[in-house]
């Protein structure tokens, strides 16, 4: 896949997290502020920080799929190279972490327990998708590099120091 095609596909696939972490939370909460959870205004600041960090992380991950992976995050047009740079050196599933942080952050910001419950549901569905589809697919597509990556980088809880193993899949970038 060319970089231009990867960029276009990735941009189109941005609709998926925009729906999951934007449109559905808006349907649930109307993005209206409720009384602070447990009466703690600090929760709003934590929520806003989580939401902004989640969005920044999501956009960084999507850019890495284009620039390093020569593909998209969409299962129908996956990267031709294993993406292991940037935040992927700290956690294996930063896109799902980012989306969950965005939703959980909105739940705290708007003090909406339904959004917090939805964040847990999104994480659970993501976890099952990772276990049942994504990890087996990556093991099949990158048999030389993915096992070392799994051994060095945790699935959900980021490691503090960056992993220094495989930099990218051994396959050359597409011409």
Least Cα distance to 69 among 151, 2, 155 occurs for 2
Separation of alpha carbons 88 and 15, rounded Å: 22
Q: Whole-model pTM?
A: 0.88
pLDDT of residue 175: 44
pLDDT of residue 73: 84
Cα end-to-end distance, the chain, whole Å: 8
Which of the residues in the chain have pLDDT under 70? 166-175
pLDDT of residue 167: 60
Separation of alpha carbons 132 and 135, rounded Å: 7
pLDDT of residue 174: 45
Two tokens, residue 120? 């847990």
């Amino acid at each position: 896949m060319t970089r231009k095609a990867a960029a276009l596909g990735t941009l189109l696939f941005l609709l998926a997290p925009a729906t999951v972490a934007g449109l559905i939370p808006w349907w649930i909460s109307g993005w209206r502020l409720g009384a602070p959870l447990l009466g703690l205004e600090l929760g709003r600041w934590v929520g806003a920080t989580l939401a902004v960090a989640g969005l920044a992380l999501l956009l960084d991950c999507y850019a890495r799929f284009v620039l390093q992976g020569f593909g998209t995050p969409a299962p129908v047009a996956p990267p031709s190279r294993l993406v292991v740079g940037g935040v992927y050196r700290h956690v294996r599933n930063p896109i799902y972490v980012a989306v969950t942080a965005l939703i959980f952050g909105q739940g705290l910001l708007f003090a909406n327990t339904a959004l917090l419950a939805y964040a847990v549901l999104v994480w659970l569905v993501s976890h099952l998708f990772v276990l049942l589809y994504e990890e087996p697919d990556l093991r099949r597509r990158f048999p030389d590099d993915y096992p070392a990556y799994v051994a060095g980088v945790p699935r959900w809880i980021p490691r503090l120091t960056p992993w220094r193993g495989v930099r990218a899949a051994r396959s050359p970038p597409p011409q």
